[in-house]
Structure 1
Amino acid sequence: MSLAQPVHVGPFHGQSVVALAEALRAGTLTSVRMTQTALDSIERLNPILNAFVHVDAAVSLAQAHKADELLAQGIDLGPLHGIPVAIKDNIDTFDHITTYGSAHFAGFRPSRDALCVQRLREAGAVVLGKTLTHEFAYGPTGDRSLQGAARNPWDARCITGGSSAGSAAAVASGMVPLALGTDTGGSIRIPAALCGAVGFKPSFASVPLQGVFPLSASLDHVGPIANHVEDARLLFEVLAGRACRQSTSDRPLRVGWITTGSFGPVDPALDRQVKEAARRLFGESLQPTAELELLAADMKEALLALQRAEAYDVHAERMQQAPHLFDPEVRERLELSAEVRGWQYLRAQAKQAALKASMARLFEHYDFLVSPSVPITATPVDARQVRVTDQDIDVRAAVLSYTSAWNLTGLPAISLPAGLVNGMPVGLQVIGAAGEDDRLLQLIAQRSQSPR
């Protein structure tokens, strides 16, 4: 599922972390050289794409020197040793300013790393810098932040999607080979799809959230954005603190194509493109399934209540003491969030549990479910209406429509590049059963072509 080259392209576009690691160990590449190459590409491309919001070249190069010294001493910390990785700006890093995309935290420097970043450092990765997040990760477009809007490397007039906006733009453009994102309603998979990268949301609680600024405690996930599925798997193993288990099964694969329209309207050209990508990946195993149509409304209602109540809980004091510091659009969402009643929240929790059980029963009949990741291509920055088929719908509702259900139910889901529609990337989403992250990554990596 390879893509053509974006308009704004850097040296790591399409690069395999596996191949970079092999070159590093063969002595034909150094971490310092990789890191300097990344820094040079950021200097060239970031004024256009606004993917990075904080970079400290001296800090990054010092980490790279250390990585090279360790390898020279025969100390190899694993597949990510010496590899530059970008970190979303809602994830704490002690040596980089971390603003959470908000004026409330302008210039803030955490006292310690998030646990997921600590694990990256222990694996020898080079923390290159912080990438733009939609303010407090509360938005799927990536164009509402203290630092402005991230821009799509295929067309800088368009959104990246969010909230892991900068991470997706940084990887898809080739500024870095790997990045870390978070996903509460689609915030890894949406920008990965719209920018042409691989984005993986693991099962709920499989990656620790300690040191990640919360949006919605029952929906938040941390995961990788990469060029290739195998690279995403390597990063996931580090984040989860364990190696993926090998899965073997002689049973024929059962894959359900989520009936078009189950979660809302889909652009017809995009639908055809993604369905063809799914057929290439799964062949005759792909069969339509309409079961999700019966659950979609309940999923949306429960997720909205949970996310709104939990988001307001995080920001209640800031809303009372300094509401003017929020972006107006984010503040408006929080004002709506304040209206959720306690009984509505409790009912949403009960509905979430029931829907998880429903999905467990559905996965007794399927190994994977597939759909478009996002039903539209990237819209212009600041646009808030888009026409899909014969309907004018909210851009934010559209981009979230096929991803958010899997946050509610905590299932692993990956977005894969599925080609171009009208010159812009589209994504194929593959969803696995709860806890089946390893099998999902293994099977997709085997079936995807990742050039070395």
Structure 2
Amino acid sequence: MSELTTATAAELAERLRAKDVSSAEVTQAHLDRMAEVDGAVHAFLHVNGEEALATARDVDERRARGEELHPLAGVPIAVKDVVVTKGQPTTAASRMLEGWVPPYDATIVERLRAAGLPILGKTNLDEFAMGSSTEHSAYGPTRNPWDLERIPGGSGGGSAAAVAAFEAPLAIGTDTGGSIRQPAAVTGSVGVKPTYGGVSRYGLIALASSLDQAGPVSRTVLDSALLHELIGGHDPRDSTSLPDPVGDLVAAAGAQDLRGLRVGVVRELGGEGYQAGVEASFTAALDLLREAGAEIVEVSCPSFASALAAYYLILPAEASSNLAKFDGMRFGLRVEPTEGPLTAERVMAATRGAGFGDEVKRRIILGTHALSAGYVDAYYGSAQQVRTLIQRDFAAAFEKADVLVSPTTPTTAFRFGEKLDDPLAMYLNDVATIPANLAGVPGISVPSGLSDDGLPVGFQALAPAREDARLYRVGAVLERMLDERRGHRLLADAPSLPTTVSQEAAR
């Protein structure tokens, strides 16, 4: 494995600025790594090698001319395939959009291109971002680089796996109920869900518009801060975009201690249902925060116990509305019935029946029912009331603590098929991450070590809305102390990936 693929984004950026290496060399090294191992990992749905190298060569030429460039110029990146990219396929991992090439770029992608980051390709996900394991992709699952028989989390398993497998130093993910933080936790990477509205949603294929938020995936807290500052900020094309500047997140990621910081342990996000090794890793991380000067307090958020139920009414309701446009009439897949009259209703039914997978159909049915006459107040209305209670719990908790912490996930990565036939068990993977989306507050997952099964564990921190910098302070200090204790970054412990793969493993 090349030293260029194991380096962090910040390290690559420094070497590029010093002209020790060219962007073309860095980009090619990552494309070579993808060719070696992605047959086993399947992190990518589309590889964008030709355009990525063209971008890299352009950055090299501009740097040679002495032009002032963005700090990350020339550093390659992967983009989740739910973010539209002009001239590149965007499928949302669904047959419904197979082969669709958007005519425009998402705001995030515009900012990446303007800064000169070569886009390596589009990463795999659960279809339309509905899932917690990337098993629901229409194009086959992504595998966890730590154990190819285990899931990489979801829905953004492709982005997290690409970073953890050293196929990309940076990636873009989206987080509707934990889809950045949960994959980061089970793959040993860093994932951040910004404050709702802190990063533009223009050009994201919407799942649940009041919950969706794009954010960075990386191998270090500093790398996430660099990427967050680049993609964040106001966008007039997004009506939910905050007017606030993103803030100096990179400075926060340089914090050396936590003196004066109150860290609240959420009572409801632990205990029964949490794997012993996960809780042990979390407790050890708390000891390090205390050692760094933080005050550890316990807080209670009683409404968090109802967050999962509320989320799985609000999300399907919004999803059923957002996905109504995929009807075989305007763009994407069109399937005509083989028998009977060719009516619009029958074309829509045939198209949606063939184009959507089981999990998407399940959520559309649930959401449509929750919004139907006679049920909307009992189901959707009640869920929104619970959402308000959760927001109030957060407000009360943040009066006692500056940040709230918990394990990111109740367990480490589980084996393929283990929960596929039990939707409720699958949904429970997001029990610790969902409250942040319902309240719109930012969250980060930082690797806190390995569980007793040898798999990564994530440590989650949550901050008040617009206070994303606090997350980077906590994450950076914890990361530095853990790396110093073990003598290296956690991903250095990951097993080697095969460079050849059997047909069975590839499936």
Judged with a 3 Å threshold, the aligned counterparts in structure 2 of structure 1 residues 263 and 140 are, in CA distance, closer, same or farther, namely: farther
Paired AA for residue 433 in structure 1: P
Q: Residues of 1 paired with 2:246 and 2:438: CA distance?
A: 26
Aligned-pair CA distance for 1:275: 1.6
Paired AA for residue 436 in structure 1: E
Tell me which of 379, 390, 395 is aligned to 2:414: 379
Superimposed CA distance per residue, residues 98-154 of structure 1 (whole angstroms, 9 cap, x where no aligned partner)? 111100000010011100111111112111100001100011111111211000001
Q: Residues of 2 paired with 1:179 and 1:47: CA distance?
A: 19
> Max radius of gyration: which structure?
2
* In the alignment, structure 1 residue 183 sits paired with structure 2 residue 175: yes
The residue correspondences of 1:417-432 to structure 2 (distance < 5 A) are: 417-421=447-451, 422-432=453-463
Aligned-pair CA distance for 1:14: 5.2
Paired AA for residue 155 in structure 1: D
* In the alignment, structure 1 residue 311 sits paired with structure 2 residue 323: no
Judged with a 3 Å threshold, the aligned counterparts in structure 2 of structure 1 residues 255 and 36 are, in CA distance, closer, same or farther, namely: same
Moved more, 298-307 or 415-424: 298-307
Q: Residues of 2 paired with 1:295 and 1:312: CA distance?
A: 26
Tell me which of 42, 47, 50 is aligned to 1:55: 47
Q: Residues of 1 paired with 2:409 and 2:51: CA distance?
A: 37
* In the alignment, structure 1 residue 412 sits paired with structure 2 residue 442: yes
Paired AA for residue 203 in structure 1: T
Q: Residues of 2 paired with 1:39 and 1:251: CA distance?
A: 43
Question: 2:446, 2:458 within 8 Å by CA — same for their partners in 1?
Answer: yes
Aligned-pair CA distance for 1:11: 5.2
Q: Residues of 2 paired with 1:405 and 1:13: CA distance?
A: 35
Q: Secondary structure at the match of 2:406?
A: strand
* In the alignment, structure 1 residue 357 sits paired with structure 2 residue 392: yes
Q: Residues of 2 paired with 1:44 and 1:210: CA distance?
A: 34
Q: What is residue 236 of structure 1 aligned with on the other side? A: 228
Q: Secondary structure at the match of 1:448?
A: helix
Q: Residues of 2 paired with 1:41 and 1:313: CA distance?
A: 40
Tell me which of 189, 197, 200 is aligned to 1:208: 200
Moved more, 203-212 or 374-383: 374-383
Q: Residues of 2 paired with 1:424 and 1:196: CA distance?
A: 8
Unpaired runs of at least 5, structure 1: 1-8, 387-391
Q: What is residue 300 of structure 2 aligned with on the other side? A: 291
Q: Residues of 2 paired with 1:337 and 1:359: CA distance?
A: 26
Q: Residues of 1 paired with 2:415 and 2:478: CA distance?
A: 33
Question: 1:416, 1:427 within 8 Å by CA — same for their partners in 2?
Answer: yes
Aligned-pair CA distance for 1:435: 1.1
* In the alignment, structure 1 residue 270 sits paired with structure 2 residue 278: yes
Aligned-pair CA distance for 1:317: 5.3
Superimposed CA distance per residue, residues 23-47 of structure 1 (whole angstroms, 9 cap, x where no aligned partner)? 1111111100010001000001110
Tell me which of 88, 93, 97 is aligned to 1:96: 88
Q: What is residue 218 of structure 1 aligned with on the other side? A: 210
Q: Residues of 2 paired with 1:34 and 1:160: CA distance?
A: 25
Q: Secondary structure at the match of 2:282?
A: helix
Judged with a 3 Å threshold, the aligned counterparts in structure 2 of structure 1 residues 374 and 206 are, in CA distance, closer, same or farther, namely: same
Higher strand share: 1
Tell me which of 256, 265, 268 is aligned to 2:264: 256
Question: 1:88, 1:132 within 8 Å by CA — same for their partners in 2?
Answer: yes
Q: Secondary structure at the match of 1:22?
A: helix
TM-score if structure 1 supplies the norm length?
A: 0.91
Judged with a 3 Å threshold, the aligned counterparts in structure 2 of structure 1 residues 10 and 98 are, in CA distance, closer, same or farther, namely: farther
Paired AA for residue 314 in structure 1: N
Moved more, 246-255 or 350-359: 246-255
Paired AA for residue 103 in structure 1: R
Paired AA for residue 285 in structure 1: A
Unpaired runs of at least 5, structure 2: 234-244, 328-347, 490-507
Question: 1:12, 1:176 within 8 Å by CA — same for their partners in 2?
Answer: no
Question: 2:4, 2:26 within 8 Å by CA — same for their partners in 1?
Answer: no
Q: Residues of 2 paired with 1:301 and 1:314: CA distance?
A: 20
Question: 2:193, 2:213 within 8 Å by CA — same for their partners in 1?
Answer: yes
Q: Secondary structure at the match of 2:456?
A: strand
Q: Secondary structure at the match of 2:405?
A: strand
Judged with a 3 Å threshold, the aligned counterparts in structure 2 of structure 1 residues 243 and 14 are, in CA distance, closer, same or farther, namely: farther
The residue correspondences of 1:23-62 to structure 2 (distance < 5 A) are: 23-62=15-54
Q: Residues of 1 paired with 2:3 and 2:40: CA distance?
A: 16
Paired AA for residue 448 in structure 1: E
TM-score if structure 2 supplies the norm length?
A: 0.81
Q: What is residue 5 of structure 1 aligned with on the other side? A: none
Tell me which of 184, 189, 207 is aligned to 1:192: 184
Moved more, 335-344 or 90-99: 335-344
Judged with a 3 Å threshold, the aligned counterparts in structure 2 of structure 1 residues 363 and 178 are, in CA distance, closer, same or farther, namely: same
Judged with a 3 Å threshold, the aligned counterparts in structure 2 of structure 1 residues 250 and 228 are, in CA distance, closer, same or farther, namely: closer
Superimposed CA distance per residue, residues 350-386 of structure 1 (whole angstroms, 9 cap, x where no aligned partner)? 4323432331221011011111101111111222179
Q: Residues of 2 paired with 1:86 and 1:142: CA distance?
A: 16
Q: Residues of 1 paired with 2:161 and 2:478: CA distance?
A: 25
Alignment root-mean-square deviation, CA: 2.4
Question: 1:51, 1:151 within 8 Å by CA — same for their partners in 2?
Answer: yes
Aligned-pair CA distance for 1:59: 1.0
Q: Residues of 1 paired with 2:149 and 2:82: CA distance?
A: 24
Give the total of aligned pairs.
438
Moved more, 81-90 or 303-312: 303-312
Question: 1:77, 1:122 within 8 Å by CA — same for their partners in 2?
Answer: no
Paired AA for residue 107 in structure 2: L
Q: Residues of 2 paired with 1:263 and 1:401: CA distance?
A: 12
Q: Secondary structure at the match of 1:381?
A: coil
Superimposed CA distance per residue, residues 319-351 of structure 1 (whole angstroms, 9 cap, x where no aligned partner)? 753223212233223222222133232343343
Q: Secondary structure at the match of 1:361?
A: helix
Q: Secondary structure at the match of 1:338?
A: helix
Moved more, 107-116 or 394-403: 394-403
Question: 1:385, 1:394 within 8 Å by CA — same for their partners in 2?
Answer: no
